[in-house]
Amino acid sequence: MKQKIRMGMVGGGKNAFIGAVHRIAANIDGLIEFCCGALSSNPENAKISGKELFLPEDRVYTSYKQMFEAESKLPAEVRMQFVSIVTPNHLHFEPAMMALEHGFNVLIDKPITFTLAEAKALQQKVEETGLTLALTHTYSAYPMVKQAKAMVKEGVFGKIRKVCVNYPQGWLSTAAGDDNKQAAWRTDPSRSGISGCMGDIGTHAAQLAEYISGLQISKICADLNIVVDGRALDDDGNVLLKFDNGANGLLMASQIAAGEENALRINVYGEKGSLEWHQMEPNTLLVKWLDQPAQIYRAGNGYLSAAASHNTRTPSGHPEGYLEAFANIYRNFALTLNAKLNGETPTAEMLDFPTAKDGVRGMAFIENVVASSKSTQKWHDFTV
């Protein structure tokens, strides 16, 4: 019998932008019940946040350790079944590992951990426990990205030869932006890790390139930059790519591209044709052919793939965006958990969300890019 999947949350309390996004996404399809939380490292803020979100007083916790211990002692039909971790990067690994050790499934913001070693340990724990972990690489969850992936997989473009992905933002164009709460931890090595821009948005671009193309990055040549004086981490970078089928590519990520909002764009070029997708126009997929007119594919139409249709909520012409894409990850994750609880095998559409494996590759991307940028060697093997 299908039931709502009960969710706890670590982080995401009062005035936390991404916590609210996660809760909206979890609520869109009515498959998830938000039942408990350790919403702040500040006990008073944790209590206030829980009250404002109408959580039961006895299930508002002042630490994730307290939450996991208390929830694991509740009856099976009451306790949370997964935890959503929405903290800064340096606070991902320990709560995720502890959740798995207490028998809870995990949904976590990217990048998955602070280091590659932590990511590998977390992946091993997922495999040992048989539990499920999802990672919020949101852009891979848009319907027309699913369509792009399906068309590449069908081979309609022939062998993929080149992948170009650009992710320019302008919100950190001046040092004044570092006073922003969201910028403060992203530009702080003790909380963000060894990379700023590439760790924050470059990982999204790399995951999208691999997801749509079905290929894996095998070599890189990176140039990372600190453009704004006084910063400790990169705010701009360019990476030459080589993929495991021999294709080449380019990845640009920048947070000092003044005037840009969230202009993620990807082009995938094959022998017979190519595709183009823009995150700020997400309902449209442009398909170009070598010897025939270009085509425009639009979300919500009957000619789309099963994966695209499964991840579409509205009729054609009704825009779907960031929140719906975020919700696709939550929905597919919840459907997978429900299937497992009922002794069923999740479908391919249910299982179509980023996992610990994607998280490991994301951390490997960060560490390889930083190493490549520091090296005098032209090409750097992408090692995991």
As to burial, measured by CB atoms within 10 angstroms (0-12 exposed, 13-18 middle, 19+ buried), residue 317 is: exposed
pLDDT at residue number 182:
86
Q: What share of the chain is helix, strand, coil (3-state, %, to 5)?
A: 40, 20, 40
pLDDT at residue number 179:
77
pLDDT at residue number 1:
63
Which H or E run contains 301?
Answer: none
d(CA 149, CA 169): 25
d(CA 358, CA 342): 26
d(CA 48, CA 157): 54
Do residues 253 and 265 touch, judged by C-beta distance below 8 A? no
d(CA 195, CA 116): 13
Could you give the domains of the chain?
Answer: 5-136 (3.40.50.720), 141-315+361-381 (3.30.360.10)
Task: Return all residues near 177 (Cβ < 8 A) that are at least 6 apart.
Answer: 171, 183
pLDDT tens-digit profile of 201-247? 999 999 999 999 999 999 999 999 999 999 999 999 999 999 999 99
Which residue stretches of the chain have pLDDT < 70?
Answer: 1
d(CA 91, CA 283): 34
Do residues 114 and 354 touch, judged by C-beta distance below 8 A? no
Tell me, yes or no, if the pTM score tops 0.85.
Answer: yes
d(CA 317, CA 370): 42
pLDDT at residue number 117:
98
